[in-house]
């Protein structure tokens, strides 16, 4: 009787111990799971806030500060509609944003000056008044200059979370306005729960594994042998993993990752049945991984196994039907008692939809809303990335639309935007994928050309200009043409500063603009030339002929594009100093006396002074000063000799003399071209550079280029 009672007591104690162990295990699992889920929730919450803030900052960087400042002025209707349209498009293309607006502070009051009104017809969106009522949160970005994400705010049409991003002034010191983006609180937290699903699945799997293993150990100790226990464990895992999303697996650590166990979720994920993957029967998991990810996946598995860490990676697979899917793989190595790897176990989950959303956010962050090209921020990062020896020579081209302001004023900003969009398309379509094209703002574009030398860059810019010309000839609308100016520069060595290369490209752009009739810079040249033509016998035809002669020589000498541009410009402006000479001397019908000639010889220095006081002409001032110097050092005003005379001035001297001799003057008749050529030959080595004179005569006689 006592023995029976003792046995019963021991049985109860044993059962109580087992129950107690299970309770403790459940408590531990629940506590750890709660801590992990709380940590994961906070992490995803911070990630969501960071993504929303980055999106707001990206949108804010695309809005022109001058447009924002002028929104409250009556004359800023075009800026208002431009900003309003940008906000409306943002709401329409971004599913998660329900309302966008701009706040301004005026005399201590904060109010909405423009919003996404076109999208506000949907009644479920927040209203303007509900956004203006949250005074405290609206004021904080103005006071601190930092972005703010509000706690959920209840309104009659729902609960909302707002992202407030300050838009800083041009010096990035003080906020001039605040960009507000409104998200649905329900969708915000719904997306967080979607991100939590993989973590919850993993926790459920781990918890199930823990309890399964605990149960198996208990059963093995009482009823089964070790081999029977292993088979039961495999059967239990097979049943469990067949019910969870994605594909659970156990595989060998070999080249093909030969599968020893695959859950039924394999079919939904890959299109292959489990038996087709088992033991590499018809296909290997290595084959399913997209080719470009196979080596990176193998390298990452090797790294985590060496460090005894868990595996977590994202990559693409190719399903049986040929569809590409993004997957998240979570796994670990299984080791024997000696520490050798027995197998790999884990789960593969489909994350294609999440990847699609991530790519959409990245596109909005890096792209210009108007043209679809890369924005200024992205281009700045690309310059840093490409500024490496493997990408040298690295050429940079800057393109600017001529006369865009005139188009905006005459035809409206919609036509101006159309011109910007079309120009961007023409530039992009003319380039290969290895080149990076961005819209810097306004009518300016930037092109980064890795592994492209200066000559190749020049050929590319010429092709782009040809595309613009072709478009102008066949376009449907005929009331204006697209006109662009381009400048480029190249980094070839490490000691070249990238900023200097960009500044040189910008300077070359400015020089080209001086030659383009539609450019505002060209108006300076036209104004000076009009004064000269009215005062002297100089003609526009003389400048054109002289420019053609100079270009003919310059191209034969393989001068750079910048030098050729200078030749064209100085051929028009070399005699601007004659503006300061008395009319009676300029237009005297006979030869000048000694006193008059001394006065006339001042015109290079007068022209130099005019060019130096005109910032756009500084770079050609020296060529104007020396265009009457002689090879033998007897010229004026500085009596330079030989190669001390700039090559542009030496070329101009020969071309100017030839054109002057072959044109009638009030005091003499024109020489024939052959007579003028003989004069050039006779004065080679005294008045003219002998090599350039010889080349010039060769081009005229042998090649017949005149």
Q: Measured between alpha carbons, how far is residue 467 from residues 428, 430, 436, 456 in Å? A: 11, 7, 18, 17
Per-residue pLDDT band at 680 (split at 50, 70, 90): very high
pLDDT in tens, 21-68: 778 878 888 888 888 888 888 888 888 888 888 888 888 777 777 767
Find, among 57, 104, 118, 55, the residue nearest to 76 by Cα: 104
DSSP state letters, 61-118 = HHS-HHHHHTTTSGGGHHHHHHHHHHHHHHHHH-TTEEEEEEEEEETTEEEEEEE-GG
pLDDT of 510 reads 85
- Please write the tens of the pLDDT for every residue from 449-489: 999 999 999 999 999 999 998 888 886 655 578 889 999 99
CB 521 within 8 A of CB 616: yes
Model confidence at 76, in pLDDT bands (50, 70, 90)? low
**pLDDT score at 242:** 59
- The per-residue pLDDT for range 557-578, each reduced to its tens digit, is 988 888 888 898 898 889 888 8
Segment among 417-421, 481-485, 629-633 with least mean pLDDT: 481-485
| Sheet with strand 259-262: strands edge to edge | 259-262, 247-251, 341-350, 324-335, 311-318
CATH level 2 (architecture), domain 519-705: Orthogonal Bundle (1.10)
User: To the nearest whole percent, how much of the chain has pLDDT over 70?
Assistant: 84
pTM for the full predicted model: 0.45
Nearest to 250 by CA among 233, 231, 263, 268: 263
Range in 209-213, 286-290, 431-435, 660-664 with the lowest mean pLDDT: 209-213
Q: Are 461 and 470 in contact (CB under 8 A)?
A: no
pLDDT tens-digit series, residues 497-516: 999 999 999 988 888 887 76
Evaluated on CA atoms 52, 53, 56, 61, the torsion sign reads negative
- What DSSP state is assigned to residue 370? T
Residue 672 pLDDT more than 60? yes
382-502: CATH topology is: Alpha-Beta Plaits (3.30.70)
- Give the pLDDT band of residue 2 (cuts 50, 70, 90): very low
Tell me the C-alpha distance between 626 and 459, whole Å: 32
Rounded to whole angstroms, how far apart are CA atoms 539 and 451?
45
pLDDT confidence of 10, banded at 50, 70, 90? very low
Residue 156 is predicted with a pLDDT of 78
The domain ranges of the chain are: 27-193, 242-357, 382-502, 519-705
Mean of pLDDT values over 225-229: 59
Q: Are 499 and 589 in contact (CB under 8 A)?
A: no
Look at residue 460 in the predicted model and tell me its pLDDT. Answer: 95
Residues, the chain, total?
Answer: 706
- The reported pLDDT for the residue numbered 126 is 62
pLDDT of 428 > 90? The answer is yes
On whether the CB atoms of residues 162 and 180 are closer than 8 A, the answer is: yes
Residue 694's pLDDT is 94
Q: Looking at residue 84, what is its pLDDT?
A: 83
Residue pLDDT, tens place only, 576-627: 888 888 888 888 877 888 898 999 999 999 989 888 887 778 888 999 999 9
Mean pLDDT of 312-323: 95
- CB neighbour list of residue 687: distance below 8 Å, 6 or more residues apart: 630, 631, 632, 635, 653, 657
* DSSP codes, 606-654: HHHHHHHTSGGGGGGHHHHHTTT--TTS--SSS---GGGS-HHHHHHHH
Bridge partners for 350 per DSSP: 327
Record the tokens describing residue 389, joined without a space: 């020896």
pLDDT of 1 higher than 50: no
- Lowest mean pLDDT segment, chosen from 114-128, 243-257, 423-437, 458-472: 114-128
Residue with the larger pLDDT of the pair 61 and 319: 319
> Over the chain, what is the mean pLDDT?
84
Partner residues linked to 444 by β-bridges: 400, 441
Question: What gap in Å lies between CA 1 and CA 3, rounded to an integer?
Answer: 5
Evaluate if residue 4 carries a pLDDT over 60. Answer: no
β partners of residue 334:
343
Predicted confidence (pLDDT) at residue 698 exceeds the cutoff of 70:
yes
CATH T-level assignment (fold) for domain 27-193: Beta-Lactamase (3.30.450)
Query: pLDDT band for position 7 (50/70/90)?
Result: very low
Q: Are 127 and 155 in contact (CB under 8 A)?
A: yes
Q: Would you state the pLDDT for residue 209?
A: 84
Fold identical between 27-193 and 242-357? yes
Q: How far apart are CA 250 and CA 603, in angstroms?
A: 91
User: Which range (216-220, 292-296, 423-427, 547-551) has the least confidence?
Assistant: 216-220
Domain 242-357 fold is: Beta-Lactamase (3.30.450)
Choice between 520 and 351, residue whose per-residue pLDDT is larger: 351
């Amino acid at each position: 009787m006592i023995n029976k009672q003792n046995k019963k007591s021991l049985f109860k104690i044993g059962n109580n111990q087992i129950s107690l162990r299970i309770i403790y295990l459940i408590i531990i699992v629940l506590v750890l799971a709660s801590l992990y889920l709380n940590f994961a929730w906070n992490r995803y919450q911070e990630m969501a806030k960071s993504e929303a803030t980055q999106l707001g900052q990206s949108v804010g960087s695309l809005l022109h500060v001058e447009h924002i400042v002028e929104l409250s002025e009556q004359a800023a209707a075009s800026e208002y509609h431009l900003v309003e349209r940008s906000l409306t498009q943002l709401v329409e293309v971004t599913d998660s944003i329900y309302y966008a607006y701009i706040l301004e502070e005026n005399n201590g009051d904060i109010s909405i000056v423009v919003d996404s009104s076109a999208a506000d017809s949907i009644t479920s969106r927040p209203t303007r008044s509900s956004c203006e009522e949250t005074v405290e949160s609206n004021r904080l970005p103005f006071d601190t200059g930092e972005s703010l994400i509000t706690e959920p705010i209840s309104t009659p049409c729902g609960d909302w979370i707002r992202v407030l991003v300050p838009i800083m002034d041009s010096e990035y010191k003080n906020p001039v306005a605040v960009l507000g983006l409104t998200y649905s609180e329900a969708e915000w937290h719904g997306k967080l729960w979607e991100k939590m699903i993989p973590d919850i699945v993993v926790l459920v799997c781990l918890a199930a594994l823990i309890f399964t293993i605990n149960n198996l150990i208990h059963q093995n100790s009482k009823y089964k042998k070790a081999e029977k226990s292993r088979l039961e464990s495999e059967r239990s895992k097979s049943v469990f993993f067949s019910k969870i999303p994605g594909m659970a697996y156990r595989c060998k650590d070999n080249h093909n990752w030969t599968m020893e166990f695959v859950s039924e979720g394999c079919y939904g994920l890959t299109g292959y049945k489990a038996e087709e993957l088992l033991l590499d029967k018809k296909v290997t998991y290595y084959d399913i991984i997209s080719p470009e990810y196979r080596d990176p996946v193998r390298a990452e598995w090797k790294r985590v196994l060496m460090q005894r860490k868990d595996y977590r990676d994202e990559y693409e697979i190719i399903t049986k039907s040929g569809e590409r899917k993004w997957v998240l793989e979570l796994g670990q190595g299984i080791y024997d008692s000696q520490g050798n790897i027995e197998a790999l176990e884990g789960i593969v989950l489909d994350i294609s939809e999440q990847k699609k959303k991530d790519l959409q956010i990245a596109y909005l962050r890096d792209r210009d809303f108007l043209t679809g090209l890369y924005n200024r921020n992205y281009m700045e990062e690309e310059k840093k990335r490409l500024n490496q020896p493997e990408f040298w020579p690295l050429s940079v081209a800057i393109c600017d639309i001529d006369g865009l302001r005139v188009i905006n004023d005459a035809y409206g900003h919609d036509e101006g935007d159309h011109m910007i969009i079309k120009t961007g398309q023409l530039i992009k379509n003319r380039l290969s994928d290895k080149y990076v094209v961005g819209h810097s703002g306004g009518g300016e574009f930037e092109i980064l050309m890795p592994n492209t030398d200066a000559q190749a860059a020049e050929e590319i810019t010429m092709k782009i200009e040809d595309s613009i010309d072709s478009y102008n000839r066949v376009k449907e609308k005929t009331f204006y043409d697209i006109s662009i100016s381009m400048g480029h520069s190249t980094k070839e060595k490490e000691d070249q500063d990238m900023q200097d290369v960009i500044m040189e490209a910008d300077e070359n752009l400015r020089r080209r603009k001086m030659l383009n009739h539609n450019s505002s810079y060209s108006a300076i040249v036209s104004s000076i030339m009009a004064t000269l033509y009215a005062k002297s016998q100089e003609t526009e035809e003389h400048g054109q002929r002289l420019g053609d002669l100079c270009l003919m020589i310059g191209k034969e000498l393989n001068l750079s594009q910048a030098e050729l541009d200078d030749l064209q410009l100085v051929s028009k402006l070399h005699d601007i100093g004659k503006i300061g000479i008395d009319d009676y001397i300029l237009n005297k019908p006979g030869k000048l006396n000694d006193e008059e000639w001394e006065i006339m010889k001042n015109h290079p220095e007068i022209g130099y002074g005019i060019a130096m006081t005109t910032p756009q002409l500084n770079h050609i001032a020296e060529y104007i000063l020396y265009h009457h110097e002689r090879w033998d050092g007897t010229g004026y005003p500085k009596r330079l000799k030989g190669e001390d005379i700039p090559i542009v001035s030496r070329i101009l001297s020969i071309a100017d003399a030839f054109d002057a001799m072959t044109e009638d003057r009030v005091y003499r008749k024109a020489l024939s071209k052959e007579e003028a050529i003989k004069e050039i030959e006779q004065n080679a080595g005294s008045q003219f550079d002998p090599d350039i004179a010889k080349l010039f005569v060769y081009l005229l006689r042998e090649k017949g280029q005149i």
